[in-house]
Amino acid sequence: MSETAQPEAHHHPTPRQYVQIALLLAVLTGIEVGLYYTEPTLGKLVTPALLILAAVKFGLVVGYYMHLKYEKRLLTGFFGAGFILAGLVYAVVLVSFLILPRFA
């Protein structure tokens, strides 16, 4: 007998996991809103905290809702490399706007 190759079944989050992640995202958003209102108290710590929370939320959305967590590592690597490249370009432009006006 010949065996037919079955395509790999992609694992997806269950509806319960989707709800859990949505609730976690809602809690993280609430923390972000709370941090915004504590800016006068916390001062310069608010911006890094908000950026870290945004990165965590981004990772959750990309990993679960875009199913990147369950894809092949090559696809995840391509996405990660593109994201890092975009971040580096953003950082270079931001730094150039901060530094270049001083020399003008």
Write the CA distances from 23 to 7, 16, 46, 68, integer angstroms.
Answer: 33, 11, 23, 20
pLDDT of residue 102: 67
Which one has a higher pLDDT value, 13 or 84? 84
| pLDDT tens sequence across 46-89 | 888 998 999 899 888 988 888 887 788 888 888 889 889 998 99
- Least reliable range by pLDDT among 7-11, 32-36, 65-69, 87-91: 7-11
Taking residue 64's Cβ as centre, other Cβ atoms within 10 Å add up to: 20
CA-closest candidate to residue 27, choices 2, 5, 60: 60
pLDDT of residue 101 exceeding 80: no
Q: Provide the token pair at 17.
A: 């996991």
Output the pTM of the full model.
0.71
68, burial (CB in 10 Å: exposed 0-12, middle 13-18, buried 19+):
middle
